[in-house]
């Protein structure tokens, strides 16, 4: 009798203890593992209304979607290669680079890539297109020529362009040299004294997608002061005098290359570098043959010869 009573008492005590522990733990969760949860995004129910404590403050970014540019960010206008000419005669351009350019010592990878990309045949007249990737200059009308591919590559490499370079070209011609520079640098400003060529090059470069090239008709002797200074200046017509405005518009640390004609009529490429103090260093790098520069430079040459 007493044994049964003791058993009932113990059973009742056990029931009270279980009820107390269950009531005391209600609404309490274990402390989170801070090291693990710190890298976990909060889970939000699909039907949770806006403003819930666990709702992320910003929506998750879509995969591969870039953040919109800030209004004040100036993104460079890179060439757009959508014109059919870029997909034409690709093998010919590759052979041109392999044999005529890289095979003759041009090593800068940006220059080699640009020469493989720019469709030279799109810059010559239809009657000369079959010779577009030959190793010599071609006529483009108005007694002007498109330069030999190797010379274009050599002069471009000498400028040591990078993606932030701003380039001034004197003598647009067909626009081919400007396009090669535009593939590497940030902006190219090019001047052509023959108005008809300037108009044609401007139209053609726009059609080909060169959004970072600006063309104007004018005398290259005076440069483009509104856009100066320039990291690099390239001339594609020979003169017996270096235009002073071009030296002034060359940025400290910049480089200029242009064909120079001496008193005996011999031409060679002249490389000019300007140090941070404005001092110039000049060196001749290669004998060449370019069309002569016209305009103001002839007046200054005549005065110096008087």
Positions annotated as catalytic residues are 147
Q: Distances in Å between the alpha carbon of 224 and those of 58, 228, 233, 281?
A: 47, 6, 11, 22
Question: Quick one: DSSP state of residue 193?
Answer: S
- Cα 48 to Cα 41, 52, 54, 61, distances in angstroms: 16, 7, 9, 20
DSSP letter assigned to residue 214? E
C-alpha to C-alpha distance for 106 and 116, rounded to whole angstroms: 13
Q: Which helix (H) or strand (E) holds 151?
A: helix 149-159
145 Cβ neighbours under 8 A, 6+ residues apart: 137, 138, 139, 173, 291
Residues 219-235, buried b or exposed e (16+ Cβ, 10 A)? bbbbbbeeebbbbbbbb
């Amino acid at each position: 009798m007493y044994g049964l009573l003791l058993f009932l008492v113990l059973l009742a005590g056990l029931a009270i203890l279980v009820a107390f522990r269950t009531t005391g733990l209600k609404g309490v969760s274990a402390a989170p593992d801070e090291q693990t949860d710190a890298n976990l995004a909060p889970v939000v129910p699909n039907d949770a209304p806006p403003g819930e404590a666990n709702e992320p403050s910003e929506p998750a970014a879509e995969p591969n979607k870039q953040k919109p540019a800030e209004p004040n960010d100036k993104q460079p206008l890179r060439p757009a290669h959508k014109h059919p000419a870029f997909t034409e005669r690709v093998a010919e351009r590759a052979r041109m680079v392999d044999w005529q350019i890289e095979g003759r010592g041009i090593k800068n990878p940006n220059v080699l890539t640009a020469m493989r990309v720019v469709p030279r045949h799109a810059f010559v007249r239809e009657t000369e297109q079959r010779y577009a990737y030959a190793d010599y200059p071609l006529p483009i009308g108005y007694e002007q020529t498109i330069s030999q591919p190797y010379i274009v590559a050599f002069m471009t490499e000498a400028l040591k362009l990078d993606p932030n370079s701003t380039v001034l070209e004197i003598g647009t011609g067909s626009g081919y040299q400007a396009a090669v520079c535009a593939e590497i640098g940030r902006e190219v400003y090019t001047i052509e004294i023959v108005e008809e060529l300037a108009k044609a090059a401007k139209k053609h470069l726009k059609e080909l997608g060169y959004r970072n090239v600006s063309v104007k008709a004018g005398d290259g002797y005076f440069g483009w002061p509104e856009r100066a200074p320039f990291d690099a200046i390239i001339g594609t017509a020979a003169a017996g005098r270096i235009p002073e405005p071009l030296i002034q518009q060359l940025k400290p640390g910049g480089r200029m290359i242009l064909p120079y004609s001496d008193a005996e009529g011999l031409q060679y490429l002249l490389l000019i570098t300007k140090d941070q103090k404005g001092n110039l260093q000049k060196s001749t790098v290669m004998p060449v043959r370019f069309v002569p520069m016209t305009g103001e430079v002839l007046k200054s040459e005549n005065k110096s010869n008087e």
